Structure 1
Amino acid sequence: MLDVPRGHPGHPPLTRPVALLGWLARREAKVLAFAVALGVVESVSLAAVPYLLGVALDAGLAEGLSPGLLRACALLLLVGLVGAGASALGHVGEIGAWLHGAFRTSRLVGHHVTRTGDAISDELPTGEVVSTVASDAFHIGNMMEVFPRFVGSVVAYVVVAVVVLQQSVPLGLAILVGLPLTTTVLAVMVRPLHTRQAAHREASGRLTTLGSDTVSGLRVLRGIGGEDVFAARYAEQSQRVRAAGVGVASTSAILQALQVLLPGLFVAGVVWFGAHLALRGQISAGQLVAFYGYTAFLAEPLRNATQFVQMFTRARVGARKVVAVLKVQPAAGSIAESEAADAAVDDAGDEGAVAPPSPARPAGDLVDLSSGVRIRPGRTTAIVSARPDDSAALASRLGRLDDAAGAVTLDGTPLTDLPLAEVRRRVVVAGATPQLFTGRLREELDVRDRGDEAALYRALEVADAHDVLTSMPEGLDGEITEKGRSLSGGQRQRVALARALLTEAETLVLVEPTSAVDAHTEARIAARLAESRAGRTTVVVTASPLVLEHADEVVLLDGGRERARGTHRELLARAVAGDPDAAAYRGVVTRQAAADEPAAEKEEVR
C-alpha cells in the first residue's frame, strides 16, 4: 500500500482539471477504498461516544451501579478501542493515498516532459514545469489524503442526524440546519482564497523560471556585467511572491479563525436550547449531555469538510497547471509515437546487450525539399552556411525533430509517413550543445545499455577523448557531474560525439562536432570520423577546413537553399577559377578558419 506507483503512469483525460483528479482517484481506488472504510469506522465510532455517554448517564441516575450502566460502559470501551484501531490503520491508508496521488502526478509530468522534447520549453516556462512537480503534485496528494476523512465525516453526520431526530426533533433540526449554515459561511471564504492561491502560484512559477534562467546563464551574465540587473529583477519578483503569500496567509488565517469561532458559537447556542428543553422536561439529562456531545463532535466533521474544500481548491489549481503541461504535444509525431520510439530504443538496448546491431546502409537518398539538399547514401556530406541557423535547421529537418519545419523524404518516402520509432532508429541527430547528465561515464556513453566495453573504447578513440578517461581515476566508472560541468567544453563535446557514434545509426547528423577543440585535436577527429563511418551516411554541419577536407561532398547553403556542391578542394579550385558560387564558399570557410582557433583554445581551457 505504501509502495510508490510503478510502470507507465497512464493517459489521463485532459478535458478539465476535475477530470484529471477523478482519473487519479480511480487509479488508486483500492487504497482510497481501504482508507475511506477505516475513516467511516473511525468517524462512526466517535459519533457513538456521545450516545453511549447519554445512555450510561441515564442508567446511572435511574438505577445506580446496575447491569445497564456496566453494559453501556463496556460498549463505550469497545467503541473506543475500535475507533483507535481504525484511526491508526486509517492513517496508513491516508499516507498511501498521498503517496499515490503525489507521485503518480509527478511521474505523469516527468514521463510527458521526456517525450515532448523542446516543445515543452517552447510553450511553457521552465519554472512552471518544475513547480508542477515540486508544488502542484503535493497539493493533489494532500487532497487524496484528506478525502477519506471527509467521506467518514459525511457518513457520521448522517448517522448523528438520524439519532438526534429520533430523540428530539426541535433540537435535532437546530443541529442539522445550523451546522450546514455554519459551513456555508465558511465556504464563502473559499472563493477569495482560491483566487489568491492562484495568483500566488503564478508568481511563484515566474520566480522559479527567473531563478533557473539566471543560474543557467550566470557565466554569460558575469561576462557582460548583468548580474546586478538580474539580481534586482529576482528581488522584485520575490517581493511580488511575498505580497501574494501574505494575501493567501491573511485569507487563510481569517478562515481558520472562523473555523474556531463559528462552531464555538454554534455549540453554545445548542447547549442553551438543550438546557431549555431539559428544564421543560422534553429531554432527559443524559440526552442533554448526548446532544452536547453530538454538537462538539460535529465540529470535527465541519473542520474536515472545510479542510477538504481547501485542499480540493489547491488541488484544482494544481491540476489545471498539470493539464497545461500534459496538453503540450511533441514537435514531431504524437505522444503515442514518442512512447513507441522509446520502447523501441529500450528493446534495441536489451537485444544489443547480447549482440550489437550491425551497421546498415540506407536504401536511398535523404532529400530536404525546403533547401533542395540531397544526401546520398553511404557518403560523408558536409553542410556549410554563412548563417549557422540555416544549417542547424537543415539538420533538425533531416532528423524529423519538428514536423512543421519542412518536408524531408527518405528513398522517396516522407519522414512523416514513417513511424517515429523507425526514424529515430535510422537517423540520429547530435546537436551543437552537448547534453550530459549526472552519472558514470559508461552510462553517459552506452545509453542503450549494450554492455560492449570494446565499442566504448573505440568510440572514445574516434572522438580523441582519451584525456577524459585519464582525468577520471575510475575510468569508465568515473562520475560526471550535472550537465557535465566536471569536464571542459571540449571534453563534453567529445563525449557527446562518442555517444553519437555508439548508436551505429544508418544516418548520423553531427552539428558542429569539433567547434570546441583545438586544431590538432580537430584534425585527428576528422580523419578518424571519416574512417569509422566509411560506407555509411554521415552529415556534418561545419565550416572547418580540417573537417571539410575529409568529406566526400560539401554543400554550401545560401539563404537556406543549396548554392554549390563538390569536394572541398574542388570548390576552392573553382573559386580560384572565378566561379562566384565557389567564391562564396571560400569566403565562408576562410572567415570561419580565422575565427576558429582562438575560440577553440578558450573553450578547451574552460
Structure 2
Amino acid sequence: MQIHDLPYPDPGLPDARSGPRFLLWLGRNQLGGQLKSLCWGLLHFLSVASLPYGVGFAVQAVVDGSGSRLALAGGLILLLGAALALGDTMLHRTAVTNWITAAARVQQLLARRTAALGAALTRRVAAGEVVAVSTGDVEKIGWFVEALSRFAAAALTVVVVCVGLVLYQPALGIVVAVGMPVLALAVLPLLPRATRRADQQREKAGRATELASDTVAGLRVLRGIGGEELFLDRYRRASQEVRTAAVRSARMWSLISAVQVLLPGLLLIAVVWYGIELARQGRITVGELVTVYSAVMILNYPLRHFEEIAMAYSFSRPSAQRAARVLSLERVTEPGGLRAAEAPAGDLYDPVTGLLAPAGRLTAVVCGDPDLAGRLADRLGGHPTDADTGTRSTSTSASASASGDGSESGSDSDSGSGSDPAKAATPVTALPSVLLGGVPLDELPLDTARTAVLVQDKDPVLLSGTLAELLDVPSSGSVRPAEALAAAQCADVLDALSQASLDDDPMNARITERGRSLSGGQRQRLALARSLVTDPEALVLDEPTSAVDSHTEARIAEGLRALRSGRTTVVLTSSPLLLDRADRVVLVHEGTVAAVGEHRELVLTEPRYRAVVTRETDEEAASAALSRNAGTSPHGEPGLGDAGIEELTEIEETA
C-alpha cells in the first residue's frame, strides 16, 4: 500500500483484544511495507558499518606506502557512500510510508466504528478519549510501526558487525561481541519506570484536555454565573500537574539516554586500551586497530535505535490499548444485518417497555426519569446502551465493561489480567430488539436501519459549515429545506444568519463549530429542521423543544404535526404544549408502559402522569384529590366520596 492508494478499500477486521495484539495485527497487515523498509535499512546500516573497514584499509595502505591499495580504498569508500545515501533515502521513504498508512488504517477503523455506534459511542467511552485516540494516539501507533523496521535493520547490523569483527580480528572482536549485548540490554531495567512515568503524564494530560474542552464548551454559562476564574484555577492546577509529570518522565528518559552514551564510551575506551597493547605486541596492525575502533564508534548509531524502539513501544502501547478499547465495541448483531436491505414500514414497537408507536401517527412519550428517556430513544433507533447489550458490570467504570478487559478507562493494562475477578463483566440475557413493522432493527443492515429510524438526541451537534451544507443530508426528497425550517420556526435564526452572510443569503452563512455562535434554542431548532429534512420512516425526537420559549414551542408543535402528517413520529417530552397536540400519549413508568391515552384525559385520570407533566408534588396531588371530592360545607371537615378515597389511596401508594 502506497500513500497515493489511500484510503484502504477495506481496512480489515482488527484484533482488538489488547493493545499488543492490535499492534501485532497492524504489523501483519503491513508486512510488505515492513520488509521493504527492512531491506533498505540493511543497505543503509551495513554501508555505515562497512565504512570503518574502508578507512582502516586506507590507513594501512598509507602506512605500507601502497598507492594502488589507497586508490582501491578510496573507490570502496566512494561506493559505500553512494550505497549509504541511497539506503538512507529509501529507508526514510518506506518508513514514513509505513507510518502514514498505519495511521490511516487506524483512523479508518475508528471512523467505521464511530459510524457504526453513532451517539451510543460517547455513552460507552468518554468523548475526550475518542478524540485522543483519533488524534494523538494514532500518531504514536504510527511511530511504533515506522520505527519497527529501522530497529530490526539496526539489530541485524549489530549482529553482522559483531560476527564480522570476530572473524576479522578475534582478539578485539570478542571484546566487542561481548560488550554490545550488554549495551543493548543495559537500559531494560529502567524501561518499566520510564513507561509508568510516561503513562502518568499522558493520563494527567488527558484530564487537562478534557477539563479545557468542558470549559470552552460551557464558556457562555461560566460567564453568566461568574465561574470563569474557578475553572481557570482548576485548569492551572491540572496544567501544573502535567508539567510536573512531564519533567519526571523527561528525567527518566534522559537517564536512559545518558546510559546509552556512557556505556558505549566505556566500551570504546576498553577497545582502544586493549588494542594498543595488542599493537605493541605486534599481534594486530595499525589498520586493524583503526578498523575495530571505527566500527565501535559507528555501532553507536544503530544502537540509538534500541532506545527509540523502547520509547516508541512505551508510548504506543497505551495508545493501542485505547484504540483497541474503542474498536472492541460492537452492536448487538453484525453491522451487515441478517435481513434484506429494503426498509420496513409499520408500527414501531419496543418489547422491553411495551411502547407502541402506530404507523403514521404522532406519539408522545412521557418518562419521569430523563436517563430512562435517553436510553429509550437510543433503543428505538437501534443503538442499545450497555444495559441493553447483555453486559452487567459491577466495576466503577462503564467504559471498562464495554471494552471487555476488566480495567478502568484510565488504565493502561494490556489484558486486564490484574483486575479483580469480582469486578469482571458478567454476561446476562440480551434484551430483545425494537421492531419496525414486525422486523427487528438489529437484524437489518446498519444503513437500512438508520434510514428507517432517525433519532435526534436531546443535545444535537451542528457541524461547522454553511447552513446549506448543514441541511444537505441524505433524505427522501419529500421535504424541502424551506419547509423544514418553517416547521421548526427558524425565521429569527435565518434573519440572524442573513446578517452574517456576505450576500444576505442565510443559506450561505457559516455556522461555527458545534454552533457555538448560536443560542441553545437556535441550535435546537436548526437540528430539528435537519431531522425533518431527512424525512425518515420513523422519527424519534428526544426533548426537541427544551431550550425554546412556550410561544415558539406551541408553533413548533403545530408545524411538526403538519409536516410529519402520515409519518411515524415519536417525541419524548414532558411539555404540555407538545403533549396536547399528539395523537397518542404514552406514560412510561419504571421502565414499562403505565398508561396510554390523550393528554387531557391522562391529566385528569392518571396521578403519575399529572405529577410529571405539571410538576405536581405529592402534597399538592393529595390536596387536589381532597378538593375535587370534598363535601359541600366550606367550613366543615371534608368528606371523601368513594372516588376520592380511591384516588387518594393511589396517590399515596405511588408516593
| TM, length-normalised to structure 2 | 0.78
State how 1:431-450 maps to structure 2 within 5 Å. Answer: 431-448=457-474
Counterpart position of 1:466: 491
Q: Do structure 1's residue 379 and structure 2's residue 361 form an aligned pair?
A: yes
Counterpart position of 2:85: 84
Counterpart position of 2:267: 266
What is the distance in 2 between the residues matched to 1:394 and 1:309?
47
Residues 479/4 of structure 1: CA separation in 2 closer, same or farther (3 Å cut): farther
CA contact 2:344–2:439 (8 Å) conserved in 1: no
CA contact 1:440–1:476 (8 Å) conserved in 2: yes
Q: Do structure 1's residue 362 and structure 2's residue 388 form an aligned pair?
A: no
What is the distance in 2 between the residues matched to 1:320 and 1:387?
35
What is the distance in 1 between the residues matched to 2:153 and 2:381?
56
What is the distance in 2 between the residues matched to 1:392 and 1:133?
26
Counterpart position of 1:352: none
CA contact 1:128–1:206 (8 Å) conserved in 2: no
Counterpart position of 1:356: none
Q: CA deviation at 1:246?
A: 1.7
Of 380, 384, 387, which residue of structure 2 is paired with 1:398?
Answer: 380
Deviations 1:125-145 (A, max 9, x none): 333333333433222222233
Q: CA deviation at 1:268?
A: 1.3
Which stretch has the larger CA shift, 215-224 or 237-246? 215-224
Counterpart position of 2:421: none
Deviations 1:529-553 (A, max 9, x none): 2222222222223344443343222
What is the distance in 2 between the residues matched to 1:530 and 1:551?
8
What RMSD in Å do the two structures reach over aligned CA positions? 3.1
Q: CA deviation at 1:176?
A: 0.8
Counterpart position of 1:476: 507
3-state DSSP of counterpart to 2:186: helix
Q: CA deviation at 1:421?
A: 4.0
Residues 139/528 of structure 1: CA separation in 2 closer, same or farther (3 Å cut): closer
CA contact 2:587–2:596 (8 Å) conserved in 1: yes
Counterpart position of 1:600: none
Of 500, 509, 512, which residue of structure 1 is paired with 2:543?
Answer: 512
What is the distance in 1 between the residues matched to 2:320 and 2:75?
48
What is the distance in 1 between the residues matched to 2:316 and 2:608?
60
Of 7, 22, 39, which residue of structure 2 is paired with 1:20?
Answer: 22
Residues 481/538 of structure 1: CA separation in 2 closer, same or farther (3 Å cut): same
Deviations 1:443-491 (A, max 9, x none): 22222278x6972222223223233334233432321111112223222
Of 552, 556, 564, which residue of structure 2 is paired with 1:525?
Answer: 556
Structure 1 unmatched ranges of 5 or more: 349-359, 593-606
Counterpart position of 1:59: 61
Q: CA deviation at 1:187?
A: 2.6
Residues 213/264 of structure 1: CA separation in 2 closer, same or farther (3 Å cut): same
Q: Do structure 1's residue 551 and structure 2's residue 576 form an aligned pair?
A: no
CA contact 1:127–1:207 (8 Å) conserved in 2: no
Counterpart position of 1:121: 122
CA contact 2:103–2:138 (8 Å) conserved in 1: yes
Q: CA deviation at 1:563?
A: 4.2
What is the distance in 2 between the residues matched to 1:230 and 1:552?
46
State how 1:79-478 maps to structure 2 within 5 Å. Answer: 79-329=80-330, 332-334=331-333, 336-337=334-335, 362-363=345-346, 365-402=347-384, 404-405=387-388, 407=432, 408-448=434-474, 455-470=480-495, 471-472=497-498, 473=501, 474-478=505-509
Residues 497/120 of structure 1: CA separation in 2 closer, same or farther (3 Å cut): closer
Residues 204/294 of structure 1: CA separation in 2 closer, same or farther (3 Å cut): same
What is the distance in 2 between the residues matched to 1:169 and 1:188?
31
Deviations 1:430-453 (A, max 9, x none): 222222111222222222278x69
Of 481, 491, 494, which residue of structure 1 is paired with 2:525?
Answer: 494
CA contact 2:348–2:358 (8 Å) conserved in 1: yes
More helix by share: 1
CA contact 2:453–2:536 (8 Å) conserved in 1: yes
Structure 2 unmatched ranges of 5 or more: 389-430, 617-655
Of 530, 546, 569, which residue of structure 2 is paired with 1:538?
Answer: 569
What is the distance in 1 between the residues matched to 2:368 and 2:286?
96
What is the distance in 1 between the residues matched to 2:151 and 2:257?
17
Q: CA deviation at 1:291?
A: 1.0
Q: CA deviation at 1:418?
A: 4.5
Deviations 1:139-193 (A, max 9, x none): 2222233333323322322332333222221211111111111222233322221
What is the distance in 2 between the residues matched to 1:43 and 1:395?
60
CA contact 2:585–2:596 (8 Å) conserved in 1: yes
State how 1:18-57 maps to structure 2 within 5 Å. Answer: 18-57=20-59
Q: CA deviation at 1:103?
A: 3.8
CA contact 1:3–1:96 (8 Å) conserved in 2: no
Aligned partner letter, 1:366: L
Counterpart position of 1:599: none
